[in-house]
Amino acid sequence: MGGLAPEANVDAALAAVQALAPPPLRTGAIPGVVAAGTPVVMLGDGFKGTEGPLALPDGSFVFTETQDARITRIAPDGRLSTHLRDTNGANGLGLTAAGEIVAVQVNDTRVGTLGAKAATLASGWSGKAFGRPNDLVVARDGSVYFTDSGRNANQPTLAGEVAPPAVYRVRPGLLERLAVDITRPNGIQLSPDERTLYVANTAGEHVLAYEVHADGSLGPRRDFAKLAGWRIDAPNGPSSGADGLAVDAQGRLYVASSAGIEVFDAAGQALGVIALPKPPQNLAFAGPDKKQLFIVGRGAAWRIDTLAQGYAGRAK
């Protein structure tokens, strides 16, 4: 007796998930960002560790399932498929000018490209392994800015052999440590003009910002925006839950935090919060004209149609 084709199995599974999903949440209005009453559409749940959302040139959207060491793709029509396997626990993702996926990887800790031409860009600092490479952003010149949140509790390497939390920049043959003044660096993003680098400090009350100099180095840090997700009494100690970051074409910053998706203008003024069924972990603009916000977190993925357009100059 014949079974369903793989594509039919995927379609059936997606239909089953969507049939069981509760009615979608609807957003409040954030002028210029999202209209009141816009549905928060559930794309799927039960994924095995959701992180690293990324827009692909064909309008599809990919994200990592870190616990399954794979990258999952959602096509413009909503169809699910496996994009890459054996990803070494890829977390944050970016896209090179050549169209290769570059990832921070948490199993054998490193930063590098994935796929047929996989290559390591960096695996540690000053003889010490990275702790937990967390997220990255690819600049126009091809250099990769990334965060290392510090030692992973499951890491077999001894604590003294692991580099402390930091922000780095890597280019072929050159790794630079740019900042070591953040307790738990997490999400990272560049402004559209690449003059400002934003870093989410999960253990802090603010999103941080650094001026980016012409040579790619950073100026002193400053508090860019206060986070509504900040809690002194969080279960694991004071935390904002600040995680992934995204920017739109107008330079607004979007922050996944314990409060939802917090939106700030380019001056750090809070514009509003998009509520979600679960705390989000990361986000990216994708879809037609990059006017859809794709969000992942706690094993789920959502889509929101936006008034704002994501910055077209990079995939994330």
- Residue 75 pLDDT exceeds 80: yes
Confidence band of 23 (pLDDT split at 50, 70, 90): low
- For 78-134, the pLDDT digits (tens) are 899 999 999 999 999 999 999 999 999 999 999 999 999 899 999 999 999 999 999
Count of C-beta atoms within a 10 Å radius of residue 236 = 7
Q: Which residues contact 56 (CB under 8 A, 6 or more apart)?
A: 62, 73, 95, 286, 315
| Separate counts of helices (H) and strands (E) for the chain | 1, 27
Q: 65 pLDDT band (50/70/90 cuts)? A: very high
The pTM of this model reads 0.91
* Residue 40, beta-bridge partner list: 25
- Start-to-end CA distance of the chain, whole Å, equals 45
**How many angstroms separate the CA atoms of 8 and 180, rounded?**
49
> Is 67 strand, coil or helix?
helix
Q: Taking a C-beta distance cutoff of 8 angstroms, is the pair 313, 85 a contact?
A: no
pLDDT above 70: percentage of residues in the chain: 91
Alpha carbons within 13 A on the beta-carbon side of 216: 19
Q: What is the pLDDT of residues 263-297, one digit of tens each?
A: 999 999 999 999 999 999 999 999 989 999 999 99
For the chain, the structural domain boundaries read 23-305
Alpha helices in 118-207 (DSSP H): none
What distance in Å separates the CA atoms of residue 199 and residue 187, rounded to the nearest whole number? 6
What is the CATH code for 23-305?
2.120.10.30
